Structure 1
Amino acid sequence: MDAKQFLAEFGHVAKAPGGIAHLRQMIYQLAVTGSLTPRGESREDAGLLLAHIGAQRQRLIRAKQYKRMVELESEPVCPPQGISLPAAWRWTRLLDIGEINPRNDAPDEQLAAFVPMSGVPQFHRAAIIAETKRWGDIKKGYTHFANGDVVLAKITPCFENGKAAAVEGLPGDAGIGAGTTELQVFRPIHPGVLSAYVYLFLRSPLFMVEGEKNMTGTAGQKRVPTDYFATRAFPLPPSEEQSRIVAKVDELMALCDQLEKQQQDRRKLQNALRQSTLQALATAQSSHELRMGWERLQANFGQLFSEPQDVRDFRGLVLDLAVNGRLLPSTRTPTPASTLLDQIAEARSKWAKTAEGQEKKEAVGMLKKLRTQQAAAPSEVLPEHWRWASLLQVSQAVVDCHNKTAPYVNEGIHLIRTTDIRDGRMELTKTRKISEETYAYWARRMQPRAGDIFFTREAPMGEAAIVPDGERVCLGQRTMLIRLFNELFSNRYLLYVIQSPSFQTRMSEAAIGMTVKHLRVGGVEDLVVPVPPRDEQDRIVQVIDRLFALCDQHARHLTTGLRVAASLASSTVAALTGINIEQAEDTAMKAPQTELVSLLRLATPPDVKAQAPLATILARHQGEMAARDLWQRFGGEIDAFYAQLKTEVTHGWIAEPEPAQVREKPTAEPAKA
C-alpha cells in the first residue's frame, strides 16, 4: 500500500461507524508488517540482531538467569500466509527474543508497584496506573513485571478490548511490580528489541485476530494461552527501524486522537442543534412559530438525524406535541373533555353499585381515594376544550401488585416483571412462570385482562405496556395495573402519554428515594395526564402511528447505510492490510465472544460507609443492570467480581440473582470469495 492509496481510502474509513478504531487497527497492522515506513532504507539486517539475541540468551541460560520453555523451543516459526516482510526483517517468536512471564527477585521491604486489571490501560501507549506496596506483600500469588516489560491482558473481555502496556515509570526504587494474574508478560533480553515495538505487535490484528481464535477455557473466562503468546510469528525489524516505526505510529495515533475528538465535538454540536430545534418546536407559542419550527426541522432533517438513535428524540417531540394538543388542527365545535371526565365518573359510580366481591372493594376504594385526592395541574397550556386529570380520575381502577417474590414453575402463567416491559411493549419470551394457585392469590385484587396497562414504578420506573390479546399475565413486583373504561378512554392514547418526555419529566419530579428513585402507589395515582375528547384521542393515536411508521422507516434506512459503510470500511482495511478485521457494533469497546446475561437488581440500599461497590453502581443506574455491564463498570477481574457479588448478596444489598448464565455469541460465517 502506498500513500496515494491510503489517502484515497482514508475518508470513508474514518467516517464509517467505528472508523477511527479501524484506522488504529490498520496502523498497527501496517506498522508491524513493514508497510508504514519506506522499505529498503535500512542499512541493518534483523538476521544479525537475531544472532546477537541468541548469543545473549545462551549466556543467560548458562548463568541460570533465564526462564526457559523447553517444550516450545524446538517448534519451528510459522509465518502467516500472505504477508511479505521487507528484506531486512526476519520472522521470529517472542520466546526466542525475550523471556515469557519472568519472575522478579527483591527484598521484602523493597517498595514496588501493584497493578490490578483496572490499572492496565486499553488506549494507545497510555500509562499503567499503579499503587505502591511492600514487595513482600505482593510477590506471591501475583504476576511479576518490571520497567521495560510488555504486559497483555489475557482474559476476555480485557484482551478483546486491547488492555496492554509497555511498562515504564513504575513507582518504587527497583522499578518492579506485581499485579493481576490475568496477564501475559514479555521481557526483552537484548536492547535491540524495543518494548514499544513489541507493544505494537500485541495490539495489531496480526496477533489479536488469531489470539481470539486460540483462546481457551470456559465461556465466561476464556484466556489467551501462554503457548500462543510465546510462539505467534513475530516480525522483527532492525533496531533503528523499530524506533522509526514506533515514532510514526505515535504520530499517527495522535492524529487519530485529534480526528476522534473532532468527530465527538461535531456529534455534540449536532446533538445540541437537534435538541434546540426540537425544543423550539415543543415550546412554540403560536401557529406561526410552530410552522417555522417545522420548516426549519424539515430543511435540516438529514443533518440533525444522522444515526438511528437520533430518531428517538424526534419520537419524543411527536409525543409531546400530540399529547399537548398541538399536532392536530383544532375543530370548530369540539366536545369539552370535562364531559368525558363526567362520563368516566358516572361509569365508575355505576360500577361501584353493580360490582360484587373483591371488585366491589376496589370500586369503593377508588371512590374514597378520589374524594380526598388533590392532584395539582401542571403549568403547561392545553387547548381550551382539554383538561388535566389524574390517572385515578381517568381510570376504572389502579391496582398495585402483591409485593413479594412469587414461587416459579417451569410452565404456567406469565409473571410480568419490570424487565419484561420496555419501550411500550410487553416481552413475553423470557418471562418467569407461575402456577394457577399462585396466580389466584397474586392476582386476587384484580385479574389482568387484554387491554389493561401494566406500569412500572421502580427499577426502572415509568415503563408501560398494554396486555396483549390471548395472553394470561400477572403483575410482578414493582408493577401496577391500570384499567380504563375502554369505550370512554383509549388505552393506546394513555400509553403514548406515559411514553412522552413531558410525562416522564413530571413523573421524575414526583419520584422519591435518595438512592433509587421510585414512585409510591399514591404517587402513581396522582400523576396527571392531558385529557382530550375520546374522538380526538383516536385521531391522535392514528397520527402518531403514521409518524412513528415513518420514523421506523428512516431509522432502518440509517441503520442500513451505517451497516454498508462499516462493511465497506472493513473490506478496505482487509484489502490494505491482508487481514480481515471484524469490528463490533459498539466501537468504543470491542465486544467479547461471550457475555454474561444474568440481570442483577438492587435490594436493600447499603449504608454510605458500607463496602458495596456493586450495589453503589446499581443505585446509580435505576437499580438494575446486566451482570456483564456491571462487571465491566466494576473494572476488576471476573473472580473478584463474583466474590464481591456473593458478599453483597449475602448482606442483602443485591437481590439473589437468577442462576448465572454465560452464553456464546453466534460466530459470523466467513465471507465467501
Structure 2
Amino acid sequence: MSLLEQHFDVAFAAPDGIKKLRELILTLAMQGKLVPQDPNDEPASELLRSIELEKELLVKEGKIKDTKTLPPIALIDIPSRLPNLWQWTRIETICEIIVDCPHSTAKFIPDGIICIDTNSFKGGDITYHKLRYVSEETYLDRINRLSPQAGDVIFAREGSVGESVIIPTGMQCCLGQRVMLFRPTKGVLSRYLQLSISNPLFLTRLLSVYKGIGAKHVNVKDMRNALISLPPLAEQHRILAKIDQLMARCDELEKLRIDRSQRLLTVHTAALDRLLTAKDSSEFSTAWSFITQHFGELYSVKENVVELRKTILQLAVMGKLVRQDPNDEPASELLRSIELEKQRLVKEGKIKQSKPSPDINLKEVPYDLSSGWEWANLQDVLALVTDGDHQAPPKSDTGIPFLVIGNLNTGKVSLENCRFVPHDYYESLDWGRKPATNDILYTVTGSYGIPIFIDSDLEFCVQRHVAILKSAKSSPVEYLLHLLKSSYALKYATSVATGIAQKTVPLNGLRKMLIAVPPLAEQGRIVEKIDRLMGMCDRLEESISSGKSKQTDLLNALMPQL
C-alpha cells in the first residue's frame, strides 16, 4: 500500500497515469490488498451462510423466487488467491434479485417518471441532464417484474459495458434498455458490489468470453455466474473509506494537472503575444529572452508547440523572423517581374487581361512592413486565381483523377478513392484549370483554408470547391505556401467567408487577400529559417511523446509490484 502512495507522482507525470491509478486502486481493493485485514472480523464464509439463510427466509415470505443451485467453483476457475477471511463467490449468491431490463423501447415524454438507461449514468453518477421520462402508464408496465428501489445497482450490459450507478434515495424510476439491475443482500454493501462489477479486471474476465463477437454486450446468465471476491462486512466498510480517500487524492492530482497545463498555456500565450506585438528589436529581444529562459517548462506540452508553429509563421509574414539586408533587391522589383510574366501569358491566350488591383490604403493594412517589403493582393503575386470547373464533369472508370476536398484536406494530394474523368474532358479545360508543378491548391468550402503545394507533374483536375493558385515563374511560391498556412491567412479567409451551414471563401475575396511580400533574397532566408524551426518543433513533439511514453512505461512497470 505504501508503494502505491509513493508513486502518485509517477501517475501524475504519465499521460493516462491518473486514470490508470484509479483503476489500480479498485483492482487492489477487490484483491484484498488495499487495507490491512483484521483477524477479529467475521469471515466471509460466515457472511455467506448468513446470506443463504436470509435468502431462504425471503423465498418463504414470497419476496423473491428460489434460484437454481449454482455450480461449485472449481479451483481452476479461481482468478487469484485472496486473504484468509475472504471468499470467492458467484454474484447471484450475494444478490436478492438480478433482473434484466424490459426488451422493449419505452415511449418517452418531456416530463414524468424517470426511465434509467445507459445514457442516464456515467462514472458512477446520475447524468441528470440526460435523463428521459415516461408516463405513469408506461412506468407501471415496465415495473411489472420489479420496481427499482434505493440501493439497487444498475449496470450497463451493452454499449458502455461496465458503467454502473446506485439508485439514490427518493428516486422513483423504471428500467430503460440495455441495463440490468442487482439488489444485493444485507451482508453486501451496494457500493462495494457496484465497484466490484465496474472494476477493469472483472470486466476483462467477463468480456473475454465474447471475443470475436461484434458489439460487446453482457447477458444476465453470465453475470449471475460471474465470480466476485467477497471480504468480511467490516472490511467492506474499511475498503470503501480507503477508496474515497485515495480517489480524493486522484481528484487533487487531476485538478493540479489541469491548473498546471492551463497556467503553461496562459503564460505561453502572453509570451507569444509580446513577440508579435513588439514595437522594436529591444522589445522583441526581451520577449524572446523570456521564452528561452523558460523553454523547457513552456514546451513540455504539445499544445504550446502547436502555438509556437503558428507564431513562427506569423513572425515570418510580419518580417520579424530574419534580419533585413539593405542590399536585397526590393519586393517592388519582384512584383514588376510577375506583372511582365502575366502580360506574356495574356498574349499567349492562357489568361485574360485583368483589371489592375486598386491602390492599397496603408491606413487599412494590419501592420507596418520592414524596408524593402511591399503590400500586394494575392492575385498580384500569381498568374491566376481560379477554381475547378463549375459544371459537373463526366464520369469515367479510368482516365484523369478528379479530386475533391476529401482528397486534399490533409494538406497533401491523395488519390485514394478518387474519381476519374475522361482524357478529352481534361484536355478541353482552360490552362488555368489544369493544376501543374509549383501551383498551389487552396480549399475554399467546408474545410476551407488548407493550402496544398503541387510538387509533381501528375495530371489531374479539381472540383469547384478548390481554388487553383496558378504560379508565374517569379511567384514566391514557397513563401506564399507558408503564408497561406499562417493564422493571418486563415483569419482573413474566415472574415470573407460566406454562408451559414457551410462556409465558402469567394474567389474575389481570396484574390484581394493582402500579402506582405518580402524581397526575393529575404524570402529564401525566411523559408530556410521556417524549415529549420519547424524541424525543431518536430523534435520537441517527439521529445514530449518520448518523455510521456517513458513515464507510462515506468507506471506500467510499477503496477505489477503493487
User: How high is the TM-score relative to the length of structure 2?
Assistant: 0.88
1:186 aligns with 2:182: yes
How far is 1:250 from its partner? 2.0
Instruction: Sort the Cα spacing of 1:468 and 1:224 in 2 relative to 1 into closer, same or farther, 3 A.
Output: farther
The residue aligned with 1:73 is 70
SS of the aligned residue for 2:368 comes to: coil
The residue aligned with 1:393 is 380
1:90 to 84, 87, 91: 87
Instruction: Sort the Cα spacing of 1:258 and 1:539 in 2 relative to 1 into closer, same or farther, 3 A.
Output: same
Kept after mapping to 1: 8 A contact 2:394/2:425? no
Which residues in structure 2 correspond to 1:31-50 (within 5 Å)?
31-50=29-48
1:113 aligns with 2:110: no
The residue aligned with 1:163 is 163
Q: Measure the CA separation in 2 of the matches of 1:257 and 1:29.
A: 18
1:481 to 465, 468, 471: 468
More moved, 557-566 vs 508-517 = 508-517
SS of the aligned residue for 1:328 comes to: coil
Q: Measure the CA separation in 2 of the matches of 1:146 and 1:517.
A: 51
1:209 aligns with 2:208: no
The residue aligned with 2:50 is 52
Instruction: Sort the Cα spacing of 1:338 and 1:169 in 2 relative to 1 into closer, same or farther, 3 A.
Output: farther
Counterpart AA for 1:153:
A
SS of the aligned residue for 2:302 comes to: coil
Instruction: Sort the Cα spacing of 1:341 and 1:177 in 2 relative to 1 into closer, same or farther, 3 A.
Output: same
Kept after mapping to 1: 8 A contact 2:402/2:421? no
1:541 aligns with 2:530: no
The residue aligned with 2:131 is 130
CA deviation profile, 1:626-649 (whole Å, cap 9, x unmatched): xxxxxxxxxxxxxxxxxxxxxxxx
Q: Measure the CA separation in 2 of the matches of 1:372 and 1:330.
A: 28
CA deviation profile, 1:451-504 (whole Å, cap 9, x unmatched): 22111112211111112314333324522111111x312322111001112222
Q: Measure the CA separation in 2 of the matches of 1:417 and 1:67.
A: 64
Instruction: Sort the Cα spacing of 1:400 and 1:427 in 2 relative to 1 into closer, same or farther, 3 A.
Output: closer
The residue aligned with 1:312 is 306
Q: Measure the CA separation in 1 of the matches of 2:92 and 2:400.
A: 60
Kept after mapping to 1: 8 A contact 2:44/2:85? yes
The residue aligned with 2:156 is 153
- The root-mean-square deviation of aligned C-alpha atoms, in Å, is 3.2
SS of the aligned residue for 1:234 comes to: strand
Instruction: Sort the Cα spacing of 1:513 and 1:103 in 2 relative to 1 into closer, same or farther, 3 A.
Output: closer
Bigger Rg, which one: 2
SS of the aligned residue for 2:450 comes to: strand
Instruction: Sort the Cα spacing of 1:405 and 1:561 in 2 relative to 1 into closer, same or farther, 3 A.
Output: farther
Q: Measure the CA separation in 1 of the matches of 2:296 and 2:115.
A: 51
The residue aligned with 1:239 is 233
1:447 to 418, 424, 434: 434
Q: Measure the CA separation in 2 of the matches of 1:140 and 1:408.
A: 57
Instruction: Sort the Cα spacing of 1:187 and 1:412 in 2 relative to 1 into closer, same or farther, 3 A.
Output: farther
Q: Measure the CA separation in 1 of the matches of 2:218 and 2:337.
A: 69
Q: Measure the CA separation in 2 of the matches of 1:247 and 1:287.
A: 60
CA deviation profile, 1:129-184 (whole Å, cap 9, x unmatched): 5344324225668997443222222334x23xx6321222464xxx33222x2223
How far is 1:227 from its partner? 4.0
Counterpart AA for 1:498:
L
How far is 1:313 from its partner? 1.2
Instruction: Sort the Cα spacing of 1:32 and 1:569 in 2 relative to 1 into closer, same or farther, 3 A.
Output: same
Task: Give the percent of matched residue pairs that are identical in Structure 1 and Structure 2.
Answer: 25
Which residues in structure 2 correspond to 1:167-178 (within 5 Å)?
167-169=167-169, 171=171, 175-178=172-175
The residue aligned with 1:530 is 516
SS of the aligned residue for 1:22 comes to: helix
Q: Measure the CA separation in 1 of the matches of 2:221 and 2:164.
A: 18
SS of the aligned residue for 1:331 comes to: coil
Q: Measure the CA separation in 1 of the matches of 2:229 and 2:359.
A: 77
Instruction: Sort the Cα spacing of 1:286 and 1:246 in 2 relative to 1 into closer, same or farther, 3 A.
Output: same
Which residues in structure 2 correspond to 1:507-518 (within 5 Å)?
507-518=493-504
How far is 1:61 from its partner? 4.9
The residue aligned with 1:433 is 419
Instruction: Sort the Cα spacing of 1:398 and 1:440 in 2 relative to 1 into closer, same or farther, 3 A.
Output: same
Kept after mapping to 1: 8 A contact 2:449/2:490? yes
The residue aligned with 2:267 is 273
1:550 aligns with 2:536: yes
Counterpart AA for 1:165:
V
The residue aligned with 1:519 is 505
CA deviation profile, 1:213-272 (whole Å, cap 9, x unmatched): 3446754x3323444433332011122222222222122212211221111011100000
Counterpart AA for 2:166:
A
Q: Measure the CA separation in 1 of the matches of 2:45 and 2:391.
A: 72
Instruction: Sort the Cα spacing of 1:113 and 1:234 in 2 relative to 1 into closer, same or farther, 3 A.
Output: same
Instruction: Sort the Cα spacing of 1:374 and 1:278 in 2 relative to 1 into closer, same or farther, 3 A.
Output: closer
The residue aligned with 1:195 is 190
Instruction: Sort the Cα spacing of 1:232 and 1:411 in 2 relative to 1 into closer, same or farther, 3 A.
Output: farther
The residue aligned with 1:629 is none
How far is 1:436 from its partner? 2.6
1:460 to 447, 471, 481: 447
Kept after mapping to 1: 8 A contact 2:189/2:236? yes
Instruction: Sort the Cα spacing of 1:6 and 1:401 in 2 relative to 1 into closer, same or farther, 3 A.
Output: same
Unpaired stretches in structure 1, ≥5 consecutive residues: 577-673
Counterpart AA for 1:275:
T
How far is 1:82 from its partner? 6.7
How far is 1:531 from its partner? 0.9
CA deviation profile, 1:334-385 (whole Å, cap 9, x unmatched): 3221222222122112211112xxx3xxx21x614x4579898532111121
Counterpart AA for 1:461:
Y
How far is 1:198 from its partner? 1.1
Instruction: Sort the Cα spacing of 1:184 and 1:103 in 2 relative to 1 into closer, same or farther, 3 A.
Output: closer
Aligned residues: 550
Instruction: Sort the Cα spacing of 1:214 and 1:302 in 2 relative to 1 into closer, same or farther, 3 A.
Output: farther
1:20 aligns with 2:6: no
Counterpart AA for 1:193:
V
Instruction: Sort the Cα spacing of 1:371 and 1:492 in 2 relative to 1 into closer, same or farther, 3 A.
Output: closer
Kept after mapping to 1: 8 A contact 2:156/2:163? yes
Q: Measure the CA separation in 2 of the matches of 1:454 and 1:137.
A: 58
